[in-house]
């Protein structure tokens, strides 16, 4: 299952207004906004979703077309570790090894790899184990 996806955009406020309006009929709303101190890119990131789970993110620090990001839900931390090892063995490039990312939340355990085209692919577990 997908956990979330992130898109690089050129104008954060213009895109925020667009997605706020476009996603409202789907009951998807803005849940979070993080500034440069909370993002890996050093820009602003806005998360949209439902039931306090942001699954669609936009960010403004990377060039449009770059910064494409997809995250897959992992059932536990061992699966995150296994994803990382398999992805590296299959030719992926390290973009952040397995570990806690407490700046996101205390139980955020993820691993990041770049696929052959440079797309940032992640596996993440939110479980406290």
What phi and psi values does residue 6 have, to the nearest 5 degrees?
Answer: -125, 140
At residue 58, the pLDDT reads 87
Structure tokens at 119: 């797309």
Domains of the chain, start order: 2-59 (3.10.180.10), 69-125 (3.10.180.10)
Mean pLDDT by runs of 10 across the 129 residues of the chain is 86 90 88 85 89 91 76 93 92 94 94 84 91
pTM to 2 decimals?
Answer: 0.70
Q: State the DSSP H helix or E strand holding residue 79, giving kind and residue range, or none if neither.
A: helix 77-89
Which DSSP symbol is given to 62? S
Gap between the Cα atoms of 1 and 21, Å rounded? 26
């Amino acid at each position: 299952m997908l956990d979330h996806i992130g898109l690089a955009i050129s104008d954060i406020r213009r895109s925020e207004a667009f997605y706020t309006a476009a996603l409202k009929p789907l009951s998807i709303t803005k849940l979070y906004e993080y500034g440069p101190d909370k993002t890996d890119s050093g820009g602003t990131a806005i998360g949209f979703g439902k039931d306090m789970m942001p699954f669609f993110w936009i960010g403004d620090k990377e060039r449009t077309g770059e910064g494409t990001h997809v995250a897959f839900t992992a059932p536990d931390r061992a699966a995150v570790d296994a994803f990382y090892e398999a992805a590296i063995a299959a030719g992926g490039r390290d973009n952040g090894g397995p570990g806690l990312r407490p700046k996101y939340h205390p139980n955020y355990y993820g691993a990041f790899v770049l696929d052959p085209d440079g797309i940032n692919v992640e596996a993440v577990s939110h479980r406290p184990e």
